[in-house]
Structure 1
Amino acid sequence: MSEVTLGRYLFERLHQLQVDTIFGLPGDFNLSLLDKVYEVPNMRWAGNANELNAAYAADGYSRIKGLACLVTTFGVGELSALNGVGGAYAEHVGLLHVVGVPSIASQAKQLLLHHTLGNGDFTVFHRMSNNISQTTAFLSDITSAPSEIDRCIREAYVYQRPVYVGLPANLVDLKVPADRLQTPIDLSLKRNDPEAQEEVVNNVLTLIQQASNPIILVDACASRHSCKKEVEKLVNLTQFPVFTTPMGKSAIAESHPRFGGVYVGSLSQDDVKKSVESADFVLSIGALLSDFNTGSFTYSYKTKNIVEFHSDYTKIRQATFPGVQMKEALQQLISEVSTHLNPNYVPVPVPSVNLPVTPASPDTILTQEYLWSKVSSWFQEGDIIVTETGTSAFGIVQSRFPNNTIGISQVLWGSIGFTVGATVGAAMAAQEIDPKKRVILFVGDGSLQLTVQEISTLCKWECNNTYLYVLNNDGYTIERLIHGMNATYNDIQPWNNLDILPLFNAKEYETLTVKTTGELDSLFKNKKFAIPNKIRMIEIMLPRMDAPSNLVAQAKLSEKVNLEN
C-alpha cells in the first residue's frame, strides 16, 4: 500500500505497540473511525457498556501492556469518560483518548449541532481535558495529522499519562503516506543531563557509603515507569532490605530474601515500622505519597538522608534535580554501587512476611482477617490481582504475592467501582498474552453496583480467566468506619449478586457462596476451582462492620483529617 486512511494509520500504529483491544463506545462522530479497527489484523473493538467503564477498562489494560486506547464521541461521550481518564492521570497510566469530533466544516460554521453546548464552541471539551492530559492534539490538517498521532502515542507511552486526540469525522477517510508506518515510533526516554546525573549518582553513592542501616522503599511509579528490573538489581547488589507501599505492592518479588513487607506509616506491622523508621538512609523509588498510601502521612523517618527517585526528577535531602529521570539514573547507580558500599555494612534480617493464620473451626463465620491471611495460599505465580478501594485494598496488604504477580489498585484516585472496569481491561490483555493467566477481582458489594454492567463485556468476550470475588458486607463499610456508622446514606439495596452472570448471558460460568472458614478452606484446596476455564463469581458473606485492622485505623485517621480546621 502506498497510502492508508488516517483512521487505519492510527490503529496500525497502536497495533505495532501490541495494543490490540480498543475500548470505548460508538457515537455518530466516531463511527467511520471505528470501521478502521476491523481493517487491522488481530485487533478488536471491546464495545463497553458505558464510557466511564471503558476508561476504567483501558486503565486496567494499560497497567498490563503499557499503553491503551479509548475511543469516545464528542461531548457526551468524552465527558462521561473523564473520571476514568483523571484516575489514569493521577496514577501514571499511559492512555490515548481519541475523541471523534464534528467535521472541520461544521466547526468553521459554528453549527448548532447535537452534543454541543449550543454556543458554537467546539473546543470547550478539549480544554476540559487539558488539565488531565500529558499533551493534547486537536487535528485539523491531514498533512501533519500522522506526525501528531505519532507524537501523542509517544507521549502517552513514555510519560505514562493520558493524551487527548480530537479527530474530526471528515479526516478519518483521507489518505496519508503508508511508508511512514515502516519507521517505528521512537519510544526512548530523553537522556538525562550528564552533569546533573553525575552529581546525583555521586551524592547517592556518598550516602550509601556512609549508611550502616539503609533501606529501599519501592512505590507505584517504579512499576508504571518500567523500573522493576532496576529495583531488583539494586537490591541484589546492595543487599539492603526492601519494602513496598500499598500502591507499590508487586514492584518487587515478595519471595525475594531481602523483602521485608509493606510500609504504611503508623499502620504498618510493628517490625516493619521499626525497620523502616530506624533506618539511617532511605532510598525511595517511584513514590506517590498519598494519604491512603502513607497511613495519612504518618511516615516517621529518623533520618534526613532520604533520596527520592521519580520519573521526571530526583530529590536528595533538600536538593531537587529537575529532569533527572529515575530509570537512567538508577542504571548508572547500579553500574557503580558495588564499589561504594559501606565496608562495615552487614545485611540485617528482614521482617517475616508470612503472617500467621489464626486457626478456626470449620463452622466459624468468615471474617476479613481470616480471608486476607488465607488467600495467599491460593494465589499462583503470574496472577493479576485487582483490589477495589475499601476493605479489599487494605486487606490485600496482609497477603503475600507469588512471583510475577501484577497488583492493580487505585489507592490514590480511589474511584469506587474502578476495579470492575479495570478487571475487564486486564482480562482482555491477559487473553492476548496468555489465556491461562488468571485475573482475580476483589470488590465490595457497594462498589460493584456502580459499574456492574461491565461484567457483560467479560461475558461477551468469554474472559474465562476471571475470578470475581464479591465481598458482601451490606453496604459501604469503609464509609461507615470513617463517618456515619448507622447512616442510611451508607446503605445499599441488596442484590442477588449470583444472578449477574446468567443475567449477562455468560456461557461458561460458576457461582458460589462462602460464609464460613471451612467453606473458604475447601474452596482454596479445590484443584478444579483453581483452573481458569470459566468466569467465576464467588460471593463472600462478611459481617457488616467487619474490616481489616489497618482499615479501621486508617478510617480513624481520615475522619480526624476531615474534621481539622
Structure 2
Amino acid sequence: MGLDIRERGLKKPVAVAEYLFRRLHEIGIRSVHGLPGDFNLVALDYIPKAGLRWVGSVNELNAAYAADGYARIKGISALVTTFGVGELSAINGVAGAFSEHVPVVHIVGCPSTISQRNGMLLHHTLGNGDFNVFANMGSQIACDTARLNKPAEIADQIDHALRECWIRSRPVYIMLPTDMVEKKIEGARLDTPIDLTEPENEAEREDYVVDVVLKYLHAAKCPIILVDACAVRHRVLKEVHDLVEKTQLPVFVTPMGKGAINESHPSYGGVYAGTGSHPDVAERVESADLVLSIGALKSDFNTTGFSYRTSQLNTIDFHSTYCQVRYSEYPGVAMRGVLRKVVERVDLSKLSQPSSPQVVNKVAENWDDSETITQAFFWPRIGEYLKENDIVVTETGTANFGIWETKFPPGVTGVTQILWGSIGWSVGAAQGAALAARDMGVDRRTILFVGDGSFQLTAQEVSTMIRHNLKVTIFLIYNEGFTIERFIHGMEAEYNNIARWQYTEVPAVFGASDKQCRKFVVKTKDQLEKLLTDKEFNEARGLQFVELWLPKEDAPRALRITTEVAARTNARVE
C-alpha cells in the first residue's frame, strides 16, 4: 500500500510505535514492564528495535508495581498492557504511583480507530460500544491522557505526555490503537530531544519568597529541616543536601522521606512522625521555632495519625508547585529555584547552630537473653548489616514501620509505599528496583523486607526475578498472617490468618536452581547473627531467600502507636 499524501511530506517517516519507544529510550528507560495481549502485540515488536528490553511480568498488577519500583531508582518507567482486562488489572499499581508521585508511562494497546468508531462488539470491552470508558478511568490517575487517534497529532501528544510525566512526576496514560501502531509520523523530530527542563520561577516572585524565607531563617533561634517524600520524587535532593551541608542545621526525615538524607551526616537527627517518633526526636522537632519542611506529604501513616505537634506559624513549606511561608502561600513558585537561592544567599553569621541528636542503631539496648528475634532487636541489627548504596524495599506493615529504627549507611535508597499502602506492592517494586540498578550499570544490593501475608499476594514476581537473574535478597518475615491488621482490629480473628506455605521452596517452584538461589530459615538470634556476618551472604551475588521467624503478636514500636490511632479513627462516629 502506498504512502498517503500526509506521509509523502515527511522528511524521515517512522512508525508510531518506533517513535514512542525511541522517545522512552531517550528519556532514560531501558526496560519495559507489562504483558502481551492481542491489541498490543505488533507494538511490542518495536521494543527491541528501540534498544529497550521487554521484561514480561507474570500479571499486570505485578508489572505496575515493578514499574513503580523501577521509576523510583531510574527516574521514570514504562508499562505496556492490553485494553480493558490488562489495564484494569494494572490500575491499582498505577494508582499507587499517582498517589506517591512516581512517573510511570502507561501505554495501552487498544482496538483500532475503525472498531472504535463503529462501536463494534469486541472482546475485552463491556459490550456497550464505549471504547473510552477505561481511558476515562485511567485519566483519574494520570496527569496527562493521550489518545493517539490522529497521525498528524501523535508526535506532539507523545512528546507532551512524556514531558508531563517527568516534570509532574506522575503517571501518564497513552492509548495506542492497533491501526496507528505502524502509521508513519515525522521521525526528524527525534533529532531534537524532548525538553525535560522544569520551567523557571518568575525571578521577581522567586526573589521575594527567598527574602521572606531568609528573614525568618536568620531570626530563628532553633531552626530545623524536615525532609519528606516529594523532595525525592521532584528531584531536589541536591539542593537539600547543599542546604544541609552549608547551614549544618539539624535535619530530620519523615517515614516517606527515609533515605533522602545521608544518615551518617553529623546534622542528621532521625525520623520524625509525630507521636510515633522517638521522644528525643519529637522534642527537637516540636521545640523548633522554625521548621523548613521540604516536599511534605502529611498522610496518616506518615504522621502517626496526623499527630504532628508543629505550628504552621513556625513552618515554611517548600513544594513542587508552590511555597508557603507561615500562613502566606506563593502559588507558582516552585521549591527548586527558591532552595538554590536560599543556599546561595543565607548569611551563616546570622544563623543559629543548634546541635543534632546522635542517631545510632540501638542493637545492644534491644538485646535480651532470649533466642527469640524480636522486632525491636531486628531492625537496629539490620542497620549494621546494610552497606553503602544498598536499595532497601519495605512492605506495608511491620517492615515499613520497623525500618524507622534502622540507621542507614550513606547512599542507601529507601523504597516504601506508605501513602497508598497496597499490600504485596514491595515484591514487584523490588524486582523493578533491582532491574533499574542493573540498567544503570551500578552494583547495588537490593534488599526486600516483606511479611508473609503480603508476600502471598504477589509471590509470582519472584519468577520474574529468576527469569532476569536479578540479585535480590528477600527477608520474608514469617509471623503468621496480617500483623498490621491484627493490631488495628482482630488479633485472633480468622480473617487475619493465612495459609502456611513452604516459603523457601517458592523459588524452586518458579524454576530457580540451587545455583541461582540460596535459601535460609532463621529462627534464633544466633542463626540471624551467623547469616548477617556470612561473607557470601553479604556479597549477594544472586537471589537469596530468608524465611525469618518473628513472634505472631510482636510489632515495631511505631506500628503499635500508629495502629492504635488508626483503630480510634476507624471507630469514630459523629
TM-score bracket, shorter-length normalisation:
over 0.9
Which residue does the alignment assign to 1:445? 452
Which residue does the alignment assign to 1:399? 406
Residue 142 of structure 1 deviates from its aligned partner by 1.0
| Shift in CA distance, 435/352, structure 1 to aligned 2, threshold 3 Å | closer
TM-score where L is the length of structure 2: 0.96
Query: Is 1:497 matched with 2:536?
Result: no
- Residue 350 of structure 2: SS of its match in structure 1? coil
List gaps (5 residues or longer) in structure 2: 1-10
The alignment's C-alpha RMSD in Å is: 1.4
Query: Is 1:37 matched with 2:44?
Result: no
Deviations 1:49-70 (A, max 9, x none): 1111110000000000111001
Give the Cα separation in 1 of the matches to 2:35 and 2:312.
51
1:315-330 to 2 correspondence within 5 Å? 315-330=324-339
Alpha-carbon contact 1:462-1:506 (below 8 Å) kept = no
1:267-306 to 2 correspondence within 5 Å? 267-301=276-310, 304-306=313-315
Which residue does the alignment assign to 2:84? 75
Give the Cα separation in 2 of the matches to 1:349 and 1:90.
32
| Shift in CA distance, 349/58, structure 1 to aligned 2, threshold 3 Å | closer
Alpha-carbon contact 2:268-2:356 (below 8 Å) kept = no
- Residue 504 of structure 2: SS of its match in structure 1? helix
List structure 1 runs of 4+ shifted beyond 6 angstroms: none
Give the Cα separation in 1 of the matches to 2:509 and 2:244.
49
Which residue does the alignment assign to 1:416? 423
1:151-550 to 2 correspondence within 5 Å? 151-301=160-310, 304-338=313-347, 342=350, 345-358=352-365, 360=367, 364-434=371-441, 436-463=443-470, 465-507=471-513, 508-550=516-558
Deviates more, 1:250-259 or 1:186-195: 186-195
| Shift in CA distance, 26/347, structure 1 to aligned 2, threshold 3 Å | same
1:140-151 to 2 correspondence within 5 Å? 140-151=149-160
Residue 373 of structure 1 deviates from its aligned partner by 1.3
Residue 8 of structure 1 deviates from its aligned partner by 1.0
Residue 303 of structure 1 deviates from its aligned partner by 6.8
Which residue does the alignment assign to 2:94? 85
Which residue does the alignment assign to 1:5? 15
| Shift in CA distance, 77/241, structure 1 to aligned 2, threshold 3 Å | same
Give the Cα separation in 2 of the matches to 1:484 and 1:359.
28
Give the Cα separation in 1 of the matches to 2:312 and 2:461.
47
| Shift in CA distance, 99/359, structure 1 to aligned 2, threshold 3 Å | closer
Give the Cα separation in 2 of the matches to 1:136 and 1:273.
43
Residue 9 of structure 1 deviates from its aligned partner by 0.9
Which residue does the alignment assign to 2:7? none
Residue 352 of structure 1 deviates from its aligned partner by 2.9
Counterpart residue type for residue 167 of structure 2: V
Give the Cα separation in 1 of the matches to 2:300 and 2:571.
15
Residue 108 of structure 1 deviates from its aligned partner by 0.9
Alpha-carbon contact 2:393-2:448 (below 8 Å) kept = yes
Alpha-carbon contact 1:260-1:353 (below 8 Å) kept = no
Which residue does the alignment assign to 2:107? 98
Alpha-carbon contact 2:300-2:306 (below 8 Å) kept = yes
Deviations 1:287-343 (A, max 9, x none): 00001100111100267221000111111111111111111111121111136x535
Alpha-carbon contact 2:74-2:440 (below 8 Å) kept = no
| Shift in CA distance, 2/432, structure 1 to aligned 2, threshold 3 Å | same
Counterpart residue type for residue 558 of structure 1: A
- Residue 102 of structure 2: SS of its match in structure 1? coil
Residue 160 of structure 1 deviates from its aligned partner by 0.5
Counterpart residue type for residue 376 of structure 1: G
TM-score where L is the length of structure 1: 0.97
Residue 394 of structure 1 deviates from its aligned partner by 0.3
List gaps (5 residues or longer) in structure 1: none
Give the Cα separation in 1 of the matches to 2:368 and 2:329.
56
- Residue 460 of structure 2: SS of its match in structure 1? helix
Give the Cα separation in 1 of the matches to 2:55 and 2:116.
30
| Shift in CA distance, 435/337, structure 1 to aligned 2, threshold 3 Å | closer
Q: Percent identity?
A: 47
- Residue 518 of structure 2: SS of its match in structure 1? strand
Count of aligned pairs: 561
Give the Cα separation in 2 of the matches to 1:304 and 1:422.
38
Deviates more, 1:268-277 or 1:426-435: 426-435
Residue 360 of structure 1 deviates from its aligned partner by 4.5
Deviations 1:13-72 (A, max 9, x none): 11112201001111110001101012123x111101111111000000000011100111
Alpha-carbon contact 2:361-2:384 (below 8 Å) kept = no
Alpha-carbon contact 2:391-2:447 (below 8 Å) kept = yes
Alpha-carbon contact 1:384-1:408 (below 8 Å) kept = yes
Give the Cα separation in 2 of the matches to 1:411 and 1:206.
34
Give the Cα separation in 1 of the matches to 2:436 and 2:60.
19
Deviations 1:417-453 (A, max 9, x none): 0000101100111111236311000000000011111
| Shift in CA distance, 435/302, structure 1 to aligned 2, threshold 3 Å | closer
Alpha-carbon contact 1:237-1:338 (below 8 Å) kept = no
Give the Cα separation in 1 of the matches to 2:410 and 2:327.
36
Deviations 1:75-111 (A, max 9, x none): 1111111101110001000011100111011111110
| Shift in CA distance, 361/197, structure 1 to aligned 2, threshold 3 Å | closer
Give the Cα separation in 2 of the matches to 1:360 and 1:86.
41
Query: Is 1:25 matched with 2:32?
Result: no
Give the Cα separation in 2 of the matches to 1:225 and 1:157.
9
Counterpart residue type for residue 49 of structure 2: E
Alpha-carbon contact 1:362-1:518 (below 8 Å) kept = no
Residue 528 of structure 1 deviates from its aligned partner by 1.1
Alpha-carbon contact 2:16-2:183 (below 8 Å) kept = yes
Alpha-carbon contact 1:55-1:81 (below 8 Å) kept = yes
